[in-house]
Structure 1
Amino acid sequence: MFVLTVDQRDSRNDVDRVAPLLADLADRALLRPFERTAGDEVQAVADDPAAVVDVALDLVRRGHWSIGIGIGEVEQPLPDQTRAGRGPAFEAARAAVDRAKKAPGAVAVEAPNADTALDADTALTLIALVIARRSPQGQAAVDLMERGLTQSEAATELGISKQAVSQRLAAAGWHADGPGRRLATRLLERADR
């Protein structure tokens, strides 16, 4: 089981970003949806490692968030409210978010098996760094590719040449994005065994 604990960075000097985030993430495939737990922190429960990777990297892309992923058992049955949950995965998520606040990719993973947690943490950090360093133009090109457009269609949409789209995608690390997500998903799945 996966618990995501997400904390807004520098919230004392910024607007409260929790309410818009909760609205944006409401339709995600999670066992228990994101819910404000305290102040500028939200928490969710998931059983699908691919959904965890997608949410974590979406949060990285948005900036403003430290993302902790805890892996392990949760007390069953899960309560209706995420914040009422208990168990080792919740404790691991707390430790992970505290570590994520100082991590280069703003994401951290904690699990009972330290080696598999470290592998998943490393994979997520690497792809998070790629995503965090994208220019707005590179992200716009990636967004169009993720919607299923061809490079030619993306070029038309962006009003640039196909070669310029290709250059933006290369600079954005787009070709590493899919494989990186798949690797992180496999490693999270392994850490959850």
Structure 2
Amino acid sequence: MFVLTVDQRKSRTAADLVEAAMTALNRDPGRPLRLAFDRTAGDEMQAATESAATAVGIGLELAASGHWSVGIGVGGVREPLPSNTRAAAGEAFERARAAVTAAKTAPGNIAVSGASPLAGQAEAVLQLVAAVTRKRSKLSAEAGLLISEGLTQQEAASRLGISQQAVSSRLHSGLWHECRRAAEVGVVLLEGADA
């Protein structure tokens, strides 16, 4: 099982983003959650999933935004699961707590904790992807998000009012393809850490 504990960064000086983030994440049918995101403290939320791809996708999205510190805990949970995350317990929840604390000062503000050495390897990959994602230019991010939505480069170019070559250049400078492949490696490593 994978538990995400997510803490809003600079919450004392910024608007509360937790409610809007929880609503958006809990409504996404493409990301199966065993326990939906729930506020566990003032500026913190937590969820559980059996899908490494879901944990990586959500973790990278939130960490790369710069607004969140993300901890991913890998391990067992006490079954049966309760109806909300605040009442849940087990190794994955304990490890997620340790990971979110580490994420506050980690590269890319993402950390992974699990018993297997593969958890540490997954953490290294995810930190790299999150750090690269944060350094992208606005133009590169704009093109990459359209490609991530399933548009072709030609369709993205048409939507942005630029050439297909310009879209390709933006994807190249933002290391979009490399980051996508690295995130896939992170998923495989997390799956191995939970085996």
TM-score (norm 2): 0.95
Q: Aligned-pair distance for 1:177?
A: 2.3
Q: 1:52 aligns with which of 45, 50, 55?
A: 55
Matched, 1:175 2:177: yes
Alignment: residue pair count: 192
Amino acid at match of 1:16: D
Q: 1:37 aligns with which of 9, 25, 40?
A: 40
Structure 1 vs Structure 2: percent identity of aligned residues?
Answer: 49
TM-score (norm 1): 0.96
Asked if the contact 1:155–1:165 (Cα under 8 Å) also holds between the matched residues in 2, the reply is: yes
1:27-77 Cα deviation digits (max 9, x unpaired)? 231110110001000000010000111101111232210000000111000
Asked if the contact 2:74–2:95 (Cα under 8 Å) also holds between the matched residues in 1, the reply is: yes
Amino acid at match of 1:137: L
1:5-42 Cα deviation digits (max 9, x unpaired)? 00001110111110111111112311101100010000
Matched, 1:89 2:92: yes
- The runs of at least 4 aligned residues of structure 1 exceeding 4 Å deviation read none
Partners of 2:169 and 2:52 in 1: CA distance: 31
Q: 1:135 aligns with which of 115, 130, 137?
A: 137
Asked if the contact 1:92–1:110 (Cα under 8 Å) also holds between the matched residues in 2, the reply is: yes
Asked if the contact 1:60–1:131 (Cα under 8 Å) also holds between the matched residues in 2, the reply is: no
Partners of 1:150 and 1:174 in 2: CA distance: 14
Matched, 1:102 2:102: no
Aligned-CA RMSD value: 1.0
